[in-house]
Amino acid sequence: MSVYSPLSASLWTFILCSAFSVWTSVRGEVLVIGSNLPIIAAPGDDVILPCHLEPMFDVQGLTVEWSKPDLKPDPSDEYVHLYRHGKEVPDMKMASYFRRTELFMDDMKHGNISLKILNVSEEDNGRYRCFIPKLQSTVKAAVVELVVNPNYGKISSPETPLHPRNLRTPDPQDTTQRNNRSRAAVLISIIITVSLLVVAALAAYFSRHHTKETSRG
């Protein structure tokens, strides 16, 4: 006759919760990541609005949209930059950005969707949204703010966090290193959970064995 053991039930509840937690970590999601800091530049500068996918993900076959969400869109030219079917689509682009924007085409396979804007002016001030509509994720977009300040060169230095040297485009190698660290953390979690499963199973076995011995006695 089987004997109900509260300890055994608690152990199996713990096992199921741990397994679900590890499965969720391994499953993960590809996220669109922008910049928490505004990108500050002087008029006439070429700037890079950083945006990338993490973990690294090839977006060459997807649509990438850059827009200004605070502007009322015009259906005929609503994008700052539009990438579709492996190339730029200039027909739906704002006239003021014509021949002034580009993506890093060779780096898109590494998840780099940063936008380069040439010869910025104060009219370019504002928030920019990078968006991948068909990305299978709950975070398909990120917002980056651009501030074009005529006095920028006079108030910043290389030691300042907002200096262009410190606001570089995400390096695919950096992303790869983050991915490797993430995979290592997941692997460690799996090893720890498996170890806990073994310990829990042994504890449950000895608990049942002890209960049977007690019943016989």
Residue 128, domain CATH:
2.60.40.10
What is the rounded CA–CA span in Å between residue 112 and residue 99?
20
What is the rounded CA–CA span in Å between residue 4 and residue 10?
11
Regarding whether 204 and 118 lie in a shared domain, the answer is no
Regarding whether 197 and 125 lie in a shared domain, the answer is no
Regarding whether 144 and 54 lie in a shared domain, the answer is yes
Regarding whether 88 and 14 lie in a shared domain, the answer is no
Regarding whether 105 and 12 lie in a shared domain, the answer is no
Regarding whether 194 and 88 lie in a shared domain, the answer is no
Structural domain of residue 107, as residue ranges? Answer: 34-170
Regarding whether 93 and 193 lie in a shared domain, the answer is no
DSSP summary character for residue 141? E
* Neighbour tally for 124: CB within 10 Å: 20
pLDDT band at 169 (very low <50, low <70, confident <90, very high): very low
Would 79 be classed as within a structural domain?
yes
Whole-number pLDDT of residue 162: 46
pTM over 0.85: no
Whole-number pLDDT of residue 57: 92
Q: Is 186 exposed, middle or buried (0-12, 13-18, 19+ CB in 10 A)?
A: middle
> Average pLDDT of the chain?
77
How many domains does the chain fold into? 2
Residue, of 140 and 178, whose pLDDT is higher: 140
Would 166 be classed as within a structural domain?
yes
13-37: average pLDDT: 63
What is the rounded CA–CA span in Å between residue 37 and residue 39?
6
H runs (alpha helix) in 110-168:
152-155
Would 175 be classed as within a structural domain?
no
pLDDT digit string, tens, across residues 41-89: 999 999 999 999 999 999 999 999 999 999 876 655 789 999 999 999 9
Return the sign of the alpha-carbon dihedral for residues 115, 117, 121, 124: negative
List strand residue ranges (DSSP E) for 12-159, in order.
31-33, 39-41, 47-49, 52-54, 64-67, 81-84, 87-88, 101-103, 115-117, 126-131, 141-148
Regarding whether 207 and 100 lie in a shared domain, the answer is no
